Amino acid sequence: MERELRLNWQPQPRIVADRADDVVPHEHEADPVPMEGIDALRSVCQNSGEENDSDDMYVEEATSDAPYGDLSFEAGLRMWALQSGLPHSSLNCLLDHLRQHNLQMPQDARAFMSTPAPTAPEIVLTSIAGGQLWYQGIEKSLLSYFRKVQPIQEGFELDFFVDGLPLRKSSRSQFWPILMKINNDPNTPVMTVAMFCGESQPVFVEEFLRPFVEEMNKLNRTKVIIGARAYWVCPRSIIADVPARAFISGVEPRNAISACMKCTIEGEMEQNQIFFRYDAERQSRNHEDFCEDKYPTHVINPTPLTTMDRCDIIRDLIAAEEVQLIYKGVEAKLMQLWMEGFPGGQSMLTPQQQREVSAHLRLLKLPSDFQHKLRDLRYVPLWKASEHRMFLLVAGFVVLKGRLNEAAYQHFMLLFLAVTFLSTSYHRDKWAMADDLLHRFVEAYGNVYIPELLDSNVHNLLHIHDDVRRFDALHTLSASVFQAFLLDLKKLMRSGRCNLVQAVHRVLELQQVHFAKPESSPADEQSVCTVGADTIATVRRGFILRKNVRDQWCMTDLGEVIRYESATKAEGTVIVQGYTFSKQMIAFTEPYPSTEANIYSANMADLDTVALKSFSSSTLMCKLAAVEMENEGEFMFVPLLHTYIVHK
């Protein structure tokens, strides 16, 4: 099922009747691909400009009777026109038809969509080296979104995102946007600060970033005025992948000897491949030395970011972006090594073991929180980020047990447990443990595999803890929401001409539809509803229980695994009824006992289906994935990290 457009509307949760298979298989699953076709698949995956690596794992779908939530008739019609890519000529016909039936509608699609005129000041483009730049600005973005509602916070802590996006495979044209999101108001959408379009990335970082830096410094001094109040504005972080991060900071790219932005480690060259030994001498870089040009082999171009107020160019540029660093980086490389081997070493999963792992993956019935079904190993080159995340944090340690050799398996467990701890603020007190696990993982990497495979992604695992400790859990540093916005925006493009003008028009049209509204109900309001014979309980946002094999498991704050049966609501509180196990077992002991991550194993024969117990929603710690093990009736119960109760 194709992901719904999520640019500028917040759909209502959809409740559907239980089905034999809740997850629609990907179209590739109908035509099995032999293992020898992996290289061809990887080539397709790497060369495709359409793949969405940024898909969100937890997406609420729209109800069939309210596809655009609480949007008005006209606003919903505008969103539909944008979402379907309807040309203005077709929209004019529709407006004519609506007026024929006595609905008050503008005569022209441009008036209806609030498309700016060609000479409007808000679409002025500036020519810079390599292409054109449209700069909307931070203040205008905030004023547009909050034009009908007064913000309740005292100021805006902003995350910024910079990246390059190829427009289409047949063209060299690229978008380089500057996007932002309000970190201290997580319900706000992604906003567009600026967009560059050219045949390549901007030639000079000075021309690209200078308007942004100057406005940020101005807002730092004067604040932004919304209504009758002044709000402070400050940067929190700048999120970008390695090439974009190198460009905006003016440093050596990832394939350089002195490429690490966080420390002074010097890489080694072996057969045109640079690697970074764990025990190599290194010291942390700092903002002052960077600005004073004390890293001559690292910094190659001056950057305006060194003049931006309240911006530490070393600490505020994120290295711990989970999608590219962990899931599509380190984890994807590990899976390639297991299946294909490496120089001087054999593949660590034999063809038979690969078939066994694939068969196990196909049998899993993981929670419907995951938007995509976890495909088997034949399709690893086509896996989306959510599939890699699901494998690393939920299914991998189960399906690899007894198949991957013990040294590689225990090495994988270091990464699994470290990322589990760092992915939620619930485990904040274990973040130091996670840092130790990552150091052990990087140190052992060259022994389990070969030192030459210690690339920049593996090395950057050593810097995750500093970013998480400075900001927050990994999911707050993710580029997923920004990348999803860009890919949705790309789908709105209607032709190959005037790309930047088209994009500007679509952004401004979307801003007319989407703006802040008063909250009609608390974001985490609990509810109980009935669909057929099924009672669905919403414990809090993202935590929904249903009586089916996928979504019926949760855990109390005492560590009890519950199989959900039903629920009621009394005095605003959901009461869940369910069965518990008479016996739960520890799942593993290394590198730490599984109880540290609230992971347990249990046998269905030990489920006490006689005593139906009741639990207040306030005692429910998290939702669980039930991962079936090799022995019939045995399951591993793994927390879904986004459902934890997190106390600030």
By three-state DSSP, how is residue 181 classified? strand
Find out whether 157 and 236 touch, Cβ atoms under 8 Å: yes
Ranking 108-117, 274-283, 404-413 by mean pLDDT, the lowest is 108-117
**Tens digits of residue pLDDT in 135-158:** 999 999 999 999 989 999 999 999
By three-state DSSP, how is residue 629 classified? coil
Ranking 95-99, 596-600, 621-625 by mean pLDDT, the lowest is 95-99
- Distance of alpha carbon 289 from alpha carbon 263, whole angstroms: 12
DSSP designation for 63: B
CA count, 13 A, side-chain hemisphere, 403: 23
**Tens digits of residue pLDDT in 463-478:** 999 999 999 999 999 9
- Distance of alpha carbon 488 from alpha carbon 54, whole angstroms: 11
Find out whether 560 and 572 touch, Cβ atoms under 8 Å: no
Q: Hey, where are the domains in the chain?
A: 73-113, 125-250+301-319+480-490+505-513, 322-477, 527-639
Find out whether 192 and 141 touch, Cβ atoms under 8 Å: yes
Name 151's Cβ contacts closer than 8 Å, sequence gap at least 6: 185, 226, 229, 231, 516
Average pLDDT rounded to a whole number, residues 514-534:
76
The kind and range of the H/E element at 624 are: strand 620-628
**Tens digits of residue pLDDT in 9-45:** 333 333 333 333 333 334 333 344 444 444 443 443 4
> What pLDDT was estimated at residue 9?
35
How much is the mean pLDDT over the chain? 86
Average pLDDT rounded to a whole number, residues 44-68:
47
Find out whether 290 and 329 touch, Cβ atoms under 8 Å: no
